[in-house]
Chain A
Amino acid sequence: MSTTEEDVVAEVKTDAVREAIAKTFAEELGDDFVDQHIVPGSDLTIRIASSAWVQAATFARDKLGMTWLDFISAIDWMPSPFGREMDAEQDWAATGRDADDTEMTTGVAGGDTRFQMFMRVYSIDEHIGVTIKADVETEAPSIDTLIPVYPGASWHEREVWEMFGINIAGHPDLRVLYLPTGFEGNPLRKDYPLVARRVKPWPGIVDVEAMPGEDEDAEGEEGAAQ
């Protein structure tokens, strides 16, 4: 093979295809395009204003050939006040996190609000997908429905609605999908406690027990293979 190692490194570090896709989104959406994040050779995430949610999906479908709907979901970026429930203090001690620490850190392509919608669409012809994120406001979270663009969005949006309490404006059939009728609360919100962990001790809280003769806090680098 004539390619040297430097060529390979240079090739991996840029991703012309995904950069071009991000650029077309930026041109189409203008000020509504907020941020982008590219993992070369693997993934593309863009963040847009929630008002451009439907516009971005329509553009991806019609102009970029991303006709395959992968999923629609949401993220609650608030740090969980409960941790792993029982023994959470130990976890926080181990990871250096303070239980009172409520500062939000968002993931790739950033975020300003507690709730973020994200969806993924994919082009079956080009074998390339894009994750589209959009911030929604915290007090009365709401976003437009994608059913006119992708009919399969219906169930995904019903799940988002019941699990995160994000209103889907224009959804014709906003009923609970999984939860019993009349269920109160939005289970995937971080401030919704996992009650099962409170009523019964869970043996799995201690995941890795110290090996015989090993110091309790040793974080061995010797590999997990026995």
Chain B
Amino acid sequence: MTGTHEAGVVSPSEHTPLVSGANGDIAADLDITNEQQLRYIAGQAADARVNIELETEGMTLNIGPQHPATHGTLRIVARLDGEQVISAEPIMGYMHRGYEKLTEVRTYPQVTTLINRIDWVGSFANEVPFILAAEDLMDVEAPPRAQYIRTALFEMGRIANIMLFLGDMPVQLGGVTAIFYAFRDREFVLNQIESATGGRFHPNFNRIGGVKDDLPAGWIKETKTAMQKVRDFCDEIEDLVMGNEIFQSRCRGVGIIPPDVGKAYGLSGANLRASGVDWDLRRDADSPLAWKDLDWKVWTHPDGDSFSRFWVRLQETRESSYMVEQLLDGLPSGPIMAKVPRIIKVPAGESYVQTENPLGAMGYYVISKGELTPFRVKIRTASFSNMSISPWLLEGVYVPDIATILASLYFILGDIDR
């Protein structure tokens, strides 16, 4: 009844004392309204007091170390004000294995076994820059066939790696379906890597001067089938995930990285290309690998948000599958190993080789003193720099966006901790 009065829709019949009851006159009604307004104002003030109290106290949210969003064991300590992040600090080191120290006590061929484990879902690509740096110092160049096999397996490592991302990011946003497609279809690629190298995850297939073995019979045909499956998977994800309204509203405009900031933090790979920076070491660096012989395109996206990082990676996966097919079509014949001594001593010198790995730019600064082991190896990994932007990026976002941003930056803990 009073509500009707407040709303101002007053019918003449309601002004009769019978309907309005004891406080039926208009003046009393107005008093009640004022009182309610006062209560409303008092309520607002009380809310404000509570808000101020929450702000002063704050809250600390620990994410990880064991959290699916961390791809390993990363702990993030976020200080919150309500739902908003005031500051976030990643704490790593749970998986630090001291690879830079360990390389100093291993011979060059032994180092490849070790560095396989840096980015463990795209392992083949980890070996390549180190081997190239050692070859550069030894003045050895692998024969063309070996370079083509390397490039093909490199790109297949990239596909296997990014397929996991394409299934994993939707999971972290609450859509579990995509990961099953990803695991199912990634297996086709891993099977091919396994049948050529003997290892699903850790091929250890590169040698200084070439690759370990030639490709098995029938491999080229099977790989082409697998590449077709990869493209089917990309189409599926495009429909299922990228076209999804919820996915878009969780990702669009979340975690925007301006290109200048990205560069100053040393971001690389798809994270930087999603901010509109047209830079890909496969195209832009001199490399003995076979990328220069291929017809392909570098994908960029102008937005710089989480969605564009997903979009760029999806396009890259598809592009890589075409690259693998081109490589297999153009596979030259010939030897797979150059002449190298059986006991490898790398001449004194320094060499820095960087390649465009699945997670971004990865480089090895190899310092040799002409001994059996490297004197010092500085391992520049992509995830380390990609994650270093996270305190800047997470400041001021809301709690659910933490998962979105971390997922979209896509890091592998082994690639941060080394």
Residues of A within 8 A of B (CB): 41-43, 45, 67-71, 73, 75-76, 80, 83-85, 91, 94-95, 97, 105, 107-108, 118, 120, 124, 127, 131, 150-152, 154-156, 163, 176-180, 187-188, 192, 194, 197, 204, 207-208, 219-225
Residues of the B chain whose Cβ atoms lie less than 8 Å from the Cβ of A219: 341-343
Q: Are B369 and A68 in contact (CB under 8 A)?
A: no
* Bound Cα distance A41, B107 (Å): 29
With a cutoff of 8 Å between Cβ atoms, the chain A residues found around residue B207 in the complex are 224
Q: Which 3 residue pairs spanning A and B have beta carbons closest together?
A: A152-B265, A178-B93, A225-B337
Instruction: Using A154-B388, A155-B384 as known contacts, say yes or no to A187 and B286 having CB atoms under 8 A apart.
Output: no
Q: Which of B17-25, B192-200, B345-353 contacts A (4 or more CB under 8 A)?
A: B345-353
- Evaluate contact between A70 and B363: CB separation under 8 angstroms: yes
Cβ B343 vs Cβ A208 within 8 A:
yes
Whether A69 lies near B266 (C-beta < 8 A) is: yes
Residues of A contacting B380 in the complex (Cβ-Cβ under 8 angstroms): 70-71, 120
- Identify which of B95-103, B152-160, B166-174, B298-306 touches chain A: B95-103
CB of B339 within 8 A of CB of A131, answer no
Please report the number of residue pairs spanning A and B whose Cβ atoms sit closer than 8 angstroms. 142
B266 with A68: CB separation less than 8 A: yes
Q: Kindly state the separation between the CA atoms of A194 and B388 in the bound complex, as whole angstroms.
A: 28
Contacts of B351 in A (CB 8 A): 43
Q: Is the CB of B263 within 8 A of A124?
A: yes
Give the CA-CA distance A223 to B337 in the complex, in Å.
Answer: 8
Given contacts A67-B263, A207-B107, A207-B109, contact A124 B279 (CB under 8 A): yes
Cβ–Cβ contact A108 & B417, under 8 A = no
- Closest A-chain residue to B376, C-beta based? A75
CB pair B93–A177 under 8 Å, yes or no, is yes
Q: Which residues of B contact A208 (CB under 8 A)?
A: 342-343
Contact B264 A150 (CB under 8 A): yes
Q: Mostly helix, strand, loop or mixed at chain A's interface?
A: loop
What residue of chain B has the Cβ atom nearest to residue A109's Cβ? Answer: B350
Query: Nearest chain-A residue to B96 (Cβ)?
Result: A178
A71 with B363: CB separation less than 8 A: yes
Residues on the B chain within 8 Å of A97, using CB: 371
> Are B101 and A187 touching (Cβ within 8 A)?
yes
B403 at the interface (CB under 8 A from A): no
Can you name the residue of chain B whose Cβ is closest to the Cβ of A152?
B265
Q: Using Cβ atoms and an 8 Å threshold, which residues of chain A touch B98?
A: 187
- In the complex the two chains form, is A95's CB within 8 Å of B345's CB? yes
A67 CA to B43 CA, complexed, in Å: 52
Q: How far is the CA of A43 from the CA of B372 in the complex (A)?
A: 24
CA separation between A127 and B416, bound complex, in Å? 25
Enumerate chain B residues within 8 angstroms of A105, measured Cβ to Cβ: 348, 369
The verdict on B317 contacting chain A, using a C-beta distance below 8 Å, is no
A95 / chain B contacts, CB cutoff of 8 Å: 345, 370-372
Complex Cα distance, B371 from A80, in Å, reads: 12
Verify if B285 is at the interface (C-beta below 8 Å from A): yes
Q: A188 and B100 in contact (CB under 8 A), knowing A70-B266, A124-B279? A: yes
Judged by a CB distance under 8 angstroms, whether B210 is at the interface is yes
Interface positions of B (Cβ within 8 A of A): 92-93, 96, 98, 100-102, 104-107, 109-110, 136, 207, 209-210, 260-261, 263-266, 268, 277, 279, 284-286, 335-343, 345, 348-352, 354, 361, 363, 365, 367, 369-373, 376, 378, 380, 384-385, 388-389, 392, 417
Q: Which of A179, A192, A220 contacts B341 (CB 8 A)?
A: A220
Given contacts A91-B371, A105-B369, A219-B341, contact A69 B384 (CB under 8 A): no
A216 to B110 alpha-carbon distance, docked (Å): 20
Q: Which of A45, A68, A127, A192 contacts B263 (CB 8 A)?
A: A68
In the complex, the answer to whether B264 meets A223 with C-beta atoms within 8 Å is: no
Tell me, in angstroms, the Cα distance from A221 to B339 when the chains sit together. Answer: 7
CB<8 Å pairs between A and B, sample of 13: A75-B367, A84-B105, A91-B371, A95-B372, A107-B367, A163-B100, A178-B93, A194-B105, A207-B343, A219-B341, A219-B342, A222-B342, A225-B336
Within the assembled complex, what's the spacing in Å between the Cα atoms of A154 and B104? Answer: 26
Is the beta-carbon distance between A155 and B350 smaller than 8 angstroms? Answer: no
Bound Cα distance A83, B375 (Å): 10
Task: Please give me the residue from chain B that is nearest to A91 by CB atom.
Answer: B372
B351: min CB distance to chain A, Å: 8
Additional A-B contacts beyond A70-B266, A97-B371 (14; CB < 8 A): A75-B376, A76-B376, A94-B372, A107-B348, A107-B367, A131-B352, A151-B392, A152-B389, A188-B100, A188-B101, A207-B109, A208-B343, A220-B341, A221-B339
Taking the closest CB of chain B, its distance from the CB of A125, in whole angstroms, is 9
Knowing A152-B385, A187-B101 touch, does A108 contact B349 (C-beta < 8 A)? yes
Contacts A95-B371, A223-B340, A224-B340 known; A152 to B92 CB distance under 8 Å? no
Which of B210, B284, B285, B376 counts the most A-chain CB atoms under 10 A from its CB? B376
Contact check, B260 vs A177: say whether CB atoms are below 8 A apart.
no
Given A73-B378, A187-B101, A225-B336, verify A151-B371 contact (CB < 8 Å).
no
- Measured between beta carbons, the chain B residues less than 8 angstroms from A197 are 105
Complex alpha-carbon distance, A225 and B334, angstroms: 13
Q: How far is the CB of A71 from chain B (nearest CB, A)?
A: 4
| Among candidates B109, B342, B376, residue contacting A220 with C-beta atoms closer than 8 Å | B342
CA distance A156 to B416 in the complex (A): 11
- A118–B335 CA distance with the chains assembled, in angstroms: 39
With a CB–CB cut-off of 8 A, which chain A residues contact B339? 221, 223
Check if B371 sits within 8 Å of A194, measured CB to CB.
Answer: no
Q: Assuming A73-B378, A151-B392, A187-B98, is B341 touching A221 (CB within 8 A)?
A: yes
